[in-house]
Structure 1
Amino acid sequence: MLPDPTSRPADAGGGDWSSVLDGLLAWGPGTAPDAAPTRTHAAALQVELREMTPRTRDRWNGPVSRTATARRPGATGPAPVHRLGVRPVVRSARGWTRGSLTWTNLPHMRARVDMDPEQHRWFCQVGALHRAAEPPTPGDDPAWVYLDDFVNPVLWELLDQARDLGIALVGSGAGAVVEVGREAWLGLDVAQHGDGVRVRAHLAVDGADLPPEHAHPVGTHGVYVVDPAHPRQVLLAPTAEPLGPQQLALLGGQSVADALRDGVVVPARETERFVRDRLPALRAGLDVTSADGSVALPPPAPPTLVLTVRHSPGHVADLTWSWDGHARSGPTPDPRTLVPGHLVPGGWPVLADGDDPTALPEPVTLRDVDAAELVTTVLPRITARPGVRVDTLGTVPAYRELRGAPVLTITAQPSDRTDWFDLGVLVTIEGRTVPFDPLFRALAQGRRKLLLVDHTYLSLDHPALAPLADLVAEARDLTEWETGLRISRHQTSLWADLTALADEVEEPEAWRSLLADAAGDAPHPVPVPRGLRADLRPYQAEGLAWLAFLWRHRLGGILADDMGLGKTLQVLALIQHVVEQRAAEPTGAAPFLVVAPTSVTPNWVAEAARFTPGLVVRRAAGTQAAGGPSVADLADGADVVVTSYALLRLDAEAYATVPGGWAGLVLDEAQQVKNPAARVHRAARDLAVPFTVALSGTPVENSLTDLHALLALTAPGLLPHATAFGQQYVRPIETPHAGITSGPGAGDVEESTARLRALRLDRLRRRIRPFLLRRTKDLVAADLPEKQEQTIAVELAPAHQAVYDLYLQRERQKVLGLIEDLDRQRFIVYRSLTLLRMLALDASLIDPEQAAVPSSKLDALLEQLADVVAEGHRALVFSQFTSYLGRAADRLAAAGVPYVYLDGSTTRREAVVEEFRTGDAPVFLISLKAGGTGLNLTEADYVFLLDPWWNPAAEQQAVDRAHRIGQDRPVMVYRLIAAGTVEEKVVALQQRKAALVDAVLDDGDLFGSALTADDVRELLG
């Protein structure tokens, strides 16, 4: 009677350790509580080679396999498909029998077949492990488990347990033998064979060689060997490591296995290449031996670099990199030595010291044309690299690159928008039509390739597309192209550039007539209007023809003739021409609207009465709110309405909504609307007019942005919007040091800058040439008297110089700390510069306590005027500072010299001007703002400029008050410059600004323009 292990002596916890341990030792081997009686029916695992019975249309039911029969050597016909099946069997009086036992009902049959519980548990585990990953499906044979697809390598441990549990492995039929080996070895053996090398498959189980063609895999962790001639003899054995694809290829039923059964022979001429290239690769995936030692084995090849490309719908390719190697492979190389970096989408990872040199790129997704280029260009080059393999998943689209020359067809059709034409651009390559909308967007975005819907793609770097790409880069910034491809009537130069690229061109009649009329060096001449009371000089007749051309085609432009060449007369001649042409039309034709500075509006009325007395001209004298006549009343029955910029701004809505509209808009002294943000500019832009002409001798006062603002009013759509215009033209043309700072050409700043400026300047000239007419006084030199200009350097008095130097040092320290942020600090910088300019004139202008300090410049002026007056001449004296003009007036009065004075506060402007023209005062003191434009003062033949202005054109306008058509005496011009002051630097800046105007308008040399931080440094230097 065994002790009860659950019982515990009452004093066990008190130290009777011997009784406790003796009770534990009583449980020895073979003892068990309530042990069940030993079962008499032993179980075994039957192992049998089964021949699979294929399903056909005629045979769709019944057994799926049968016991394999011996196949005689040399038998013909297809070899049957064999699998190694196992099933549970129990001992009966007649031997091992299955009875009704199957793998499916096995878990419920232990008591019925009187099976040992441990053996029963073992069989249940085998069946469960086999079907764990793939449950039974209809048509499976529940009686058999096939070891061929037993994926779990624990099978070999189960077979060891079967031996310990007394479960025998039995075959079927007489002479059946089933053995389990300890280890199978599968690989290649290489040996010298004549002058070559023989390679054959080699299989060994527990050191005994066996035919590889008789071996089959057990999952990927073992083999079973069965000779088809003796199908009842089965040998199973596990492999030391999992079977890879190469080992599986060596097993029976594979073509490679058949080829290597007797071995393949590498000829002597290829032996070296085999040993150098193939044998290391074979050793990396297989066990390779040379049993007789006749071949020296090289080291195994390193792992293979694998690029896996997974293709998905929508032109998507996912790329992942990995290493394909084995435990026996050689050391992993640095992948950069296998594939050049430019072939790796995403690039190799950047390594730091200590990083793994075998690291691979992160996964990358390529789309559209990038995926196409990968397939056609990159993957073939990667595949050709040794040590690299490309695995492709999914369906690969049939990508193809179009390499033919593009053929361009360009058409233009009238648009539903006034003054615009819809563009049609057709591109064909190798017979395929390339839709221009995606092509335009791709070119505008700077893309290199374009993928089409038929899986073809083309390079946008083709030389034939390069000029088109440049034009698209410019045209993409035209706001009209945001909703479709359109070209304005003003864009004749752009059309010429487009058609120069095209192989075929189709033009509408309206566009064709415009281009034909615009062809040639000058528009066709027009007859002088009958009602014009003036003899037009040749250049004025050309101006009339040019204006008539713009009017005829509903275009607009800038008449930029120099001051004094008769811009007013040319416009009046155009208006007279238009009025006479439409004389046959019903009454009520819309009038022209002329907008000019307030001081100039009387001159328009006077000039119209003088040259075109037949025109009905009305002048707006005040706003409607102030009791003046309404704009509609002024326009009713008039040919011309003259108003000022101030009145246009204040009564903008009334001018924009006048009944019948305006026939055309004339903007005199148009620099008044050069600021696009100003209300007066917006008021002019909102006028619905078919024709706008701007008159300005200075369309570029400070920057090309002035020109852009004027053309935005006169020729809308001709140039890109302001931001793009600044990037494409202003910066490369005006910035002194813009150039290539990195990449190809870096360091060659001067050459690259000059080249870029020349290209952009040439393009800008071609764009604006049809819409900007400029003639200088050189054209009418024979009609003008001689003009002599002289700069007089005036030395400041010592006390004056001391005050100037004191302020200069203070302002220099302040300003130089601000110019790095000039855009935000511009007002403060200009204020300091203006202070220094006023100090150069008179110290008392800034500090009244310095009234005793003499003004050397006024002394010089009075000295010059004494001679002028004494000789009977008359003089204009200009300054932009009215306070300084007041000082000059005081000095003239003290000297007894009569004078006339005009500045912005003068209310009787016309009377003052007439007083000088007809009176006896020999000197006319004029402020720049009030009298720099719109005056004809040929009565004077001397001009004194007391201070230099930022823009040289403004000075020239002042001079042109006297030096103009109608002057019959030589004109003497004197510029008084305070030596050693900021005025000398302003003169240098003027020269650069003048050069910019010449470059853009007169095809001269090119220099910088706008007031930059460098300019400020120079002014204060």
Structure 2
Amino acid sequence: MRGGSVGRAERDIVARGARLHEAARAVVADHDRAAEAVRAALRPIHDAEVKRELDAIPVARLQDVTEGRLRLASVERSGLRTVGDVLEAGPYRLRRIPGVGERTVGQMLAAARRLSEAAHETVAVHIDVERPEPGTTALVTALHVLVEAGPDARRAADRATALSARLGPLLADARLAVGRVRMLLASQEKKERASAAVTGIRTLVDEADRAGLPGLLAQASVDLLRAPPSDIAAWVDFELRSAEYYSLLAEISGRQPDVAAAEGFLPDEIAERVRTQHLDDSLRRVSLRGYQAFGARFALAQRKVMLGDEMGLGKTIQAIAVLAHLAAGGRSHFMVVCPAGVLVNWTREIEARSTLRVTVLHGPDRHHAFADWRERGGVGVTTFDALRGFPVPAPGGEEVALLVVDEAHAVKNPKAKRSQAVAGWAERCERTLLMTGTPMENRVVEFHHLVRMLDGDLADSLGRRDAPAGSVAFRKAVAPVYLRRNQEDVLTELPSLQHTDQWEELSASDEEAYREAVLAGNFMAMRRAAYLRPEKSAKLDRLREIVREAGENGQKTVVFSHFKDVLRVVEEALVADGTPVFGPLTGSVPAGRRQRIVDDYTGAQDPAVLVAQIQAAGVGFNLQAASVVVLCEPQIKPTIEHQAVARAHRMGQVRPVRVYRLLATGGVDERLVRLLETKTRLFDAYARRSAVAEASPDAIDVSDTELARRIVEEEQERLGVRDTGLSAAE
């Protein structure tokens, strides 16, 4: 703008800035509206939960709050039995109770309100998928909008807020520049301010264009205004990814778990350093719970650490968050080491939850894959044994930005070659993240070696003598490298039921048994082939790991299978491990005997495992003692799985239930799961809750024989073996 004249270019810049500003404000408004819809749906449900809580607290508790100053006998005689009754009665009715004066009424109501406030802060809303009601349906559908929009919508809203704050004042100053007459009549100071504002707008608009922000804002607005196609669709999605729903619910409601517990009771100076650690989420596709974000920040801030969270708290996603942060900062090479049984899970989780490139460094071509990973970068995923064959990184720690070691308790023996290989890599990598759900502080000698991989000086300071398990002094001593949180401390709003499909690669022995079953056209033999040779069974090895970790965390397990011979294999393997096993509970066991088995299992000390035929245990038994459920193979009828899991996930269960379905890649399990999923998922979900479905589960399931025939034929074609006929019933 020379000489105070207004050019078309300046007007165009201001117009572009105004459109961008309007788009930013719209995204912020859309996101706020979606969040407010969640709060509005949550409010009556939460208030009802609080009322139930207060109605369960006896009036006598008011004595505790007032340190015994109240005399409540006459109040109870008047029919007011609970704190909820007192609050509902109010001051007028309370004053009419004989013997209750004005001062007592005031103290009583003040104490009741304190309990009410505490209940509002601590009571969590749990969404019951088995009993969808109008209120919970409204909450799930409101949450669905934000979950479906994903982290990109939240990022767009945050960027839009920042952009709007910068653009707004500039557009106000630049208004002068779009009118020739006003510009001519303006003072020199205003002209200069308008000119500077146009320059600022141009800079912001150009930056936004280069970053693709207009497209991001437009997509976010579309996503935030997209309602679910139906209530049923929202409920189905909630069942599939309930953790994401509860994560958003906790964030929007502001009802987070106890901060000290979520931060693993770390010393203040360490916790503060972790809190201030930035966490870049631009390459991550999933949101984190507050405690999960803290865990990722802990690994970044402390550089070489052990994450010892209890099973089911999402150690894998915390590790992926660290990987994504470092990749966003320009780091290129990362290594994940894990048992062979979870290698497939790691690759799928990284691909599903981040934009990072994954290379599997396993199998006969692993050395070629390693050379490719070294050249191109990304996340290399390998096994403990394969790692031994790869050259360690160069000294200095710059080649590999992060080494992740899953199931780190597997390398606790310093004399084992796998432990030595991991230790060599840990020494040469810039950062190391050891992960184990086993409470290692209960075995200080084993813990000592893992600490040495991370910090030799700290390991020396601990000494080799045993320390009191869980003692304050011990936790403080290992705080620089060790973070552990327990379910009961941080899962206040997570669902009581979590499903995990555990994909396993068949061993060579498994593959041979499977091929023989396919050649014979025996569908049932194909389904249980993974257990026919127990000594080299990949599924059985993973099952034993799950049971062991559950037991070490004080949890009981129930193992379901369709096949009696699979249950025998499982029982023999677990007994050989020294695990107390109850059952097998099968259809041939008389009903009275079955209940005694369940009662004995319930009364047993941890760890204990009940093995049961899924058809026999699916109906009529309460298995609340189990908080870990293992399904040895996928079932042909989904209703059978749901009914069996419901034996543990029912009223009276006090811990979250974790369900593991063991699946083999590339064969009958994968085809069975895919075929069942391609049925009309929403119809299944609706029918499963209907009276018709409860009375006749077969009404919504495909024909067993037809399904078996299709899978056998497809597998025979895939493996190139001769079709010898179907023997599905064997």
Q: Same fold (TM over 0.5)?
A: no
TM-score (norm 1): 0.25
Pick the structure with greater CA Rg: 1
If asked which structure has higher relative contact order (CA below 8 Å, sep 6+), I would say 2
Greater fraction strand: 1
Greater fraction helix: 2
TM-score (norm 2): 0.34
